[in-house]
Amino acid sequence: MAAAAPIIALISAGLAFVGLAGAFLGILPPMAGFQTFIAGCLAGGLFSTIIALVGIFLTRGGVDPEGRMRALMALAIGLGLMIIVLGAASTGGDAPPINDITTDLTNPPAFADADLVADYRGRDMSYPPEFVEIVSEHYPDLAPVRVSAAPADAFLRSLRAAEALGWEIIAKDGPGGAFYAKDVTSIFRFVDDIVVRITPDGTGSLIDIRSKSRKGRGDLGANAMRIRALVAELEG
């Protein structure tokens, strides 16, 4: 057990690295890379930790000092792998397991037809009605941005703000007062879709934002953070 523990721990760490590097370099699809990373860190980390603890128990009393050191090393690696995942998960706080967030829950900004944005073809881009109450409860701070600028000026201002955040603008609908963008997460390269809608509001304009993950049920709060980032850019 003591001899096997570090081997298992290193295999688990290698699996986690393959998942992370594979997704980052585009060798693996984002979800496959993420799942491989989780398997290495969580499942592999837990298994190697258990084996290491058994090895530590079997080498108690100075029976096998070298084996005990190997088991302790495996324990450190296994615990480290699990801490990485748990630490990353904690960044999402109490984020609910949803992946489509908007500033307008009554009339969420709609994504364009697939004729305008080919990326949307074959995907359900409607807003899930069951998310409305969840967003209202967990993200009460999210609201439309009101600006004094006319819609045309607000459109350009929103466009510049999105570009400043590094979003890729994939389509514009000036007459419809909306533009469509996507943002790629830094590590696993998950792609999230965004629509920004500008409507007249008295003498000014109302800017609404919607951010939706392409993969996964939950987003660890990433879409809400993205909306807040644009709001801050607009108000800054």
Q: Note the pLDDT of residue 73.
A: 92
Q: Copy the structure tokens of residue 200.
A: 């007249």
Q: Note the pLDDT of residue 236.
A: 78
Q: Determine the Cα–Cα distance for residues 177 and 194; give it in Å rounded to an integer.
A: 14
Q: Note the pLDDT of residue 181.
A: 97
As a dihedral over the C-alpha atoms of residue 15, residue 12, residue 97, residue 168, rounded to 10 degrees, the angle is -30
The conformation of residue 116, written as its DSSP 8-state character, comes to: T
Q: Note the pLDDT of residue 147.
A: 96
The answer to whether 101 and 210 are in contact (CB under 8 A) is yes
The residues, any chain, with a CB within 8 Å of residue 90's CB and separated by 6 or more, are none
The Cα-based distances of 155 to 2, 80, 189, 206 in angstroms read 63, 47, 28, 10
Torsion angles phi and psi, residue 146, rounded to 5: -100, 130
* Coil, helix or strand at residue 125: coil
Q: Note the pLDDT of residue 90.
A: 66
Q: Note the pLDDT of residue 14.
A: 96
Ordered per-residue pLDDT tens for the chain, 236 residues: 678 888 999 999 999 999 999 999 999 999 999 999 999 999 999 999 999 999 898 888 877 888 889 999 999 999 999 998 887 766 666 789 999 999 999 999 999 999 999 999 999 999 999 999 999 999 999 999 999 999 999 999 999 999 999 999 999 998 889 999 999 988 899 999 999 999 999 999 999 999 999 988 888 889 999 999 999 999 97
Q: Note the pLDDT of residue 92.
A: 61
Q: Note the pLDDT of residue 199.
A: 97
Which residue bears the tokens 């990485």? Answer: 84
